[in-house]
């Protein structure tokens, strides 16, 4: 660290520890940081005292040493296990190796990181789900349970709601059957980014345009900022359509359906 601070003052380029030297140290039995210090001292002695002699070593000989070191660094068992684990890991390994041979190590690492990030985002997006869940009608009579099932639908978000999965959610939400009230359960949403919040707003506006009233339940405090930034949360709260718990949202949906005549007075009296 101190060397990297001082080197630029003399026009030098900061450097880091090399994987090859570290691997040689470890395979030679090194167990502490003293190995790195010893290695640095040996290199300094060679540069100061034996540089003219080292200059006469053929590059082919140095290449052979590097090849032997590289072969010793390869763990065949780990590579086979990585190739057999998942298809994405195998593709990532092959492409990174090919980029290393065709380009250079720095470019290959960059390509590998970008590809790994893309595959990770794709995997997370597929892991996030939008699941229609049955309403809790255990305390309702059979007639009211039928009305709830017919006119109210609830969806639960599981996982992150971000750009990679948001558009799929939008399509699923806007293709629901003819219902009067939709309850979006947000308690299991792990994270929401700006794109996810915007898509959620668009879905709510499309549903409202079709005459479907949307309620939110279980919105986490850490998600307030993303939802409030697009204006959807404040509007729904001002209309009394954001609830801490899903049963409260179901009660509000029942009251709304009763007011609009979907649930008759007889059904409300039976439920009471």
Least confident of 159-173, 178-192, 240-254: 159-173
Burial class (CB in 10 A: 0-12, 13-18, 19+), 128: buried
Give the per-residue pLDDT at 268.
46
Q: Give 101's pLDDT tier (boundaries 50, 70, 90).
A: confident
So what CATH class is 128-271? alpha beta
Average pLDDT across the chain, whole number? 76
Strands 129-133 and 152-161: antiparallel
Query: pTM surpassing 0.75?
Result: no
Contact 88, 118 (CB under 8 A): no
34 contacts: CB under 8 Å, gap ≥ 6: none
Residue 139 scores a pLDDT above 50: no
Residue 172 scores a pLDDT above 80: no
Give the per-residue pLDDT at 140.
47
7 contacts: CB under 8 Å, gap ≥ 6: 13, 14, 15
Q: What is the DSSP string of 199-235?
A: HHHHHHHHHHHTT-EEEEE---GGGHHHHHHTTHHHH
Angle between helices 105-127 and 87-102 (to 10 degrees): 160
**159 DSSP 8-state letter:** E
Cα-based distances in Å from 152 to 44, 181, 202, 232: 76, 5, 20, 21
Q: Tell me the domain boundaries of the chain.
A: 1-74, 75-127, 128-271
What percent of the chain shows pLDDT beyond 70? 74
Which one has a higher pLDDT value, 263 or 192? 192
State which of 18-27, 117-126, 218-227 shows the largest mean pLDDT: 218-227
Neighbours of 155 (CB within 10 A): 18
Contact 8, 14 (CB under 8 A): yes
Contact 154, 183 (CB under 8 A): yes
143 contacts: CB under 8 Å, gap ≥ 6: 267, 270
Least confident of 34-38, 70-74, 148-152, 233-237: 148-152
Give the per-residue pLDDT at 66.
81
Tell me the pLDDT tens digit for each residue of 13-70: 776 656 667 777 777 788 787 888 888 898 889 888 888 888 888 989 988 988 887 7
Tokens of 63: 């290449």
Count how many Cα atoms sit within 13 Å of the Cα of residue 203 in the half-sphere of its side chain. 24
Residue 124 scores a pLDDT above 80: no
Region 131-158: mean pLDDT is 61
Contact 92, 116 (CB under 8 A): yes
Give the per-residue pLDDT at 36.
80
């Amino acid at each position: 660290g101190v060397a990297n601070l001082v080197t630029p003052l003399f026009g030098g380029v900061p450097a880091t520890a090399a994987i090859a030297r570290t691997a040689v140290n470890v395979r030679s039995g090194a167990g502490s940081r003293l190995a790195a210090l010893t290695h640095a001292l040996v290199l300094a002695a060679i540069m100061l005292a034996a540089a003219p002699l080292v200059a006469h070593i053929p590059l082919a000989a140095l290449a052979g040493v590097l090849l032997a070191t590289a072969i010793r660094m390869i763990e065949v068992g780990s590579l086979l296990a990585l190739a057999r684990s998942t298809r994405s890991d195998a593709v990532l390994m092959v492409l990174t190796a090919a980029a290393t041979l065709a380009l250079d190590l720095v470019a290959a690492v960059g390509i590998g990181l970008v590809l790994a990030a893309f595959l990770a985002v794709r995997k997370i997006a597929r892991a996030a789900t939008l699941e229609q869940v049955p309403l809790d009608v255990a305390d309702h009579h059979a007639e009211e349970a039928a009305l709830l099932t017919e006119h109210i639908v609830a969806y639960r978000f599981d996982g992150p709601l971000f750009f990679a999965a948001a558009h799929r959610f939008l399509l699923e939400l806007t293709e629901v059957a003819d219902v009067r009230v939709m309850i979006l359960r947000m308690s299991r949403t792990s994270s929401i980014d700006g794109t996810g919040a915007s898509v959620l707003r668009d879905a709510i506006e499309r549903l409202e345009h079709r005459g479907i009233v949307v309620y939110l339940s279980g919105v986490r405090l850490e998600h307030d900022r993303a939802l409030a930034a697009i204006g959807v949360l404040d509007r729904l709260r001002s209309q009394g359509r954001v609830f801490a718990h899903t049963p409260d949202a179901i009660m509000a949906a029942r009251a709304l359906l009763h007011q609009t005549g979907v649930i008759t007075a007889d059904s409300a009296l039976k439920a009471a």
